[in-house]
Each structure stands twice: as structure tokens, then as C-alpha cells.
Amino acid sequence: MVRVDMKKLINEPGAVVDEMLDGMVAAYPEALARLDGTNVLVRADAPVEGKVGIVSGGGSGHEPTHAGYIGDGMLDGAAAGEVFTSPTADQLGEMIQACDAGEGVLCVVKNYEGDVMNFETGIELAEMESDVEVTYVVVDDDVAVEDSLYTSGRRGVCGTIFVHKAAGAKAAQGGDLAEVERVAQKVVDRVGTMGMALTSCTTPEKGEPTFDLPEDEIELGIGIHGEPGIERTEVMDADSVTEHLTERVLEDLELDAGARVATIVNGMGGTPQMELFVVNRRLQEILGERDIETWDAWVGDYMTSLDMAGCSITLLELDDELEELLSHPVETPALTVRDD
């Protein structure tokens, strides 16, 4: 037995990503496959004939992001870095090639310097080794801070899931690489997110809280790796937290009465669903008061930060095209949409 010095269901801290990926494949053996010798999961039937490939990736610790979104109608592959660490360029290059059926590959990259750099190198490697056509979009939906610990410009957070969904649908419908990229960029241009933390997260390697947040304080604008936010305040009630986050996203997106949105109340990993629904209640009230129509509301853990307690709120301004793409059926471990 491995000695574990923290309250986590893990074995060797350094093996947690490897074991998690095996555990995912063991849960979905017909849907997911692991590329030999890598931390890359792909659709078991990748590459899918006649379809643009869509891949993503990033540090681990954000589950179900990204591998949870692999499947019909969303991602073809997801590369897992170590916890809060970018995947290697080599593995990204391998993933890109494994997901190319000749129609090209779109990479969805969250805006962190390591991720962007490694994806750029991975794309170069893939292009050197094969004749794959590759393009990428960078998601930077976090409205809280410009430039942060790990980014120039804004961070990429939970809005990424809407990018996966819309681009994945377009690819499943037979869109070519340029169309799929256009749709992905359209979501990037119309989505905003802001998060907050009640508690820190604890990484398996370190075994103690990543940052210190006193018992009577919360942090607004926090990132998904415990990076600093914009403001520490005393503990607030759920309605006040919801108002703070929502107002900030609304301002950023400049949403006016009559707009139509899809929303996500996202749990950070340690937050019970009960609390997320309390937040959703106030979010939908606020939107109603402003005459903004919610076309679809997601509530749950979509992009987490290990065991951090807290939430984020994401708004995506819809148009007919995006609405149709979000409705397209999908079947993945973390998200299933049935045919109407």
C-alpha cells in the first residue's frame, strides 16, 4: 500500500493522471481509447471518416474537461497534461495526427501560455510528420482579469465547453475545416465567464491548499488553477455572489434586452449541486429582470479545479446558428443530448 498523506482517493501522487485515464477508458471501453504511451484519449473510432477532427487538451484537474467531452458530436481527442500543467507538444502532435481523417483538425486551446505554446509546437510537429491541415482557436472567456499569472490576455475557462459543443456539431454535420473554425471563433467572440472560490484546491503533488483563503473570506474572479482573482471579500450570500459574477459578464458581453443566451452555472469540483441550483435560481431571475431570454441553462461540474469549492457563471449570446448547433445530438461521458 502506498502511503497517502492527504485526504484524496489517490495512490502515488505522480501516477494520478495515468490512473485516472485508465479509469476513464475502463468506464467507457467502447467509446474511448488511449494512444499508446501517451496521456491522450481519443474516440475509439478515430479518425472518423469524412469529418473534420476536433481536439483539445490542457492540464489535468479540471475533469470532466477535456476527455469527458470526447464522443459523437464533440471532441475526437483530448490530451491530458499533469495536474495544472500543459500537455507536451509531442503528445499534442500525436493526437492531431490520430484524429485526422484527411479533412483536417481544429485544436481548441484555452488561453494559457504553456498551452498555446505547446499546441503551436504540436501543430508544427504534426505538419512536419504528415500532410494534415491544422488550425486552432484560442478561448479567452474569463472576464475577470486581463493578463494573469499564466496568461497574456484573458484566461480560457468554462466557455470552452460551448466551443467544443458548437464546433463539434458543425464537424458532425459535415462542415469543412474553415466552417468549423468559423463557428468555434464565433463562440469565442460571444462567450464570457467569471468564477469565484469559497476554498482553495489541493493538488496531489503538494498535498496542501494551493493558496490561503481565510475562513471568513471568498475570492471573486479566481482562475481554475488557484490563480488570484480580482477581489477578496467577506463571505457573501449566494444571491450576492451571483449578482457580482453575472453583472460583470453582462457588462463585458454588452448584452441588452432581447438577447438570447445559453448559461452555465459550473461547479469547481467541491461544490454540491444543491448550491449550484441556488445560484442558477438567482441567475435566471437576473436575466429575466433584464429581459434577456435563456434558451438553455446548464448546471453542474463542467470545468473544475480539483476539489475547490466555488462556481463560475458563463453566458453565451446565441443566434439561430449557434442555437441549432447546441441542439445537435451528442454522446460523451460528460454531456449527452438526445435527438428531439
Which residue numbers are catalytic? 62, 225
* Nearby residues of 218 by Cβ (< 8 Å), 6 or more positions away: 196, 197, 198, 232, 233, 234, 235, 236, 241, 310
Pick the stretch among 43-51, 157-165, 181-189, 331-339 that binds a copy of itself (CB under 8 A): 331-339
* Cell numbers standing for residue 306: 480539483
Measured CA to CA, the distance from residue 138 to residue 141 in angstroms comes to: 9
* 40 Rama class: left (phi>0) / alpha (psi -120 to 50) / beta: beta
The only residue of 239, 323, 324, 327 in contact with a copy of itself, by rule CB under 8 A: 239
Measured CA to CA, the distance from residue 316 to residue 337 in angstroms comes to: 18
C-alpha radius of gyration, the chain, whole number = 19
What is the edge-to-edge ordering of all strands in the sheet holding 260-267?
231-234, 217-220, 191-197, 310-317, 260-267, 293-300
Nearer to a copy of itself, 10 or 177 (CB): 10
Pair 83, 205: CB distance under 8 Å: yes
User: What is the smallest separation between the CB atom of 264 and a copy of itself, expressed in angstroms?
Assistant: 10
Measured CA to CA, the distance from residue 155 to residue 19 in angstroms comes to: 28
User: What is the smallest separation between the CB atom of 296 and a copy of itself, expressed in angstroms?
Assistant: 9
* By CB under 8 A, residue 8 contacts a copy of itself: yes
Nearer to a copy of itself, 103 or 301 (CB): 301
User: What is the smallest separation between the CB atom of 158 and a copy of itself, expressed in angstroms?
Assistant: 15
In the shown chain, the binding pattern of residues 43 to 82 toward a copy of itself, with x for contact by CB under 8 A and - for none, equals: -----------------xx-xx---x--------------
Which among 83, 38, 77, 78 is positioned nearest to 60, based on CA atoms? Answer: 83
* By CB under 8 A, residue 7 contacts a copy of itself: yes
Pick the stretch among 31-39, 45-53, 164-172, 231-239 that binds a copy of itself (CB under 8 A): 231-239
Pick the stretch among 129-137, 156-164, 179-187, 303-311 that binds a copy of itself (CB under 8 A): 303-311
The only residue of 88, 111, 304, 314 in contact with a copy of itself, by rule CB under 8 A: 304
* By CB under 8 A, residue 274 contacts a copy of itself: yes
Question: Number of residues in contact with a copy of itself, rule: CB under 8 A?
Answer: 71
User: Which 119-148 residues touch a copy of itself, going by CB under 8 A?
Assistant: none
* By CB under 8 A, residue 329 contacts a copy of itself: yes
* By CB under 8 A, residue 218 contacts a copy of itself: yes
Nearer to a copy of itself, 171 or 308 (CB): 308
Query: What b-and-e string marks burial along 141-173, b requiring 16 or more CB atoms within 10 Å of the CB?
Result: bbbbbeebebbeebbbbbbbbbbbbbbbbbbbe
Nearer to a copy of itself, 9 or 257 (CB): 9
The only residue of 14, 22, 146, 205 in contact with a copy of itself, by rule CB under 8 A: 22
* 306 Rama class: left (phi>0) / alpha (psi -120 to 50) / beta: left
The only residue of 78, 100, 270, 317 in contact with a copy of itself, by rule CB under 8 A: 270
Measured CA to CA, the distance from residue 323 to residue 317 in angstroms comes to: 10
DSSP state of 205: T
Pick the stretch among 42-50, 168-176, 181-189, 235-243 that binds a copy of itself (CB under 8 A): 235-243
Pair 168, 74: CB distance under 8 Å: yes
Query: Which residue bears the cell 496531489?
Result: 204
The only residue of 113, 275, 323, 324 in contact with a copy of itself, by rule CB under 8 A: 275
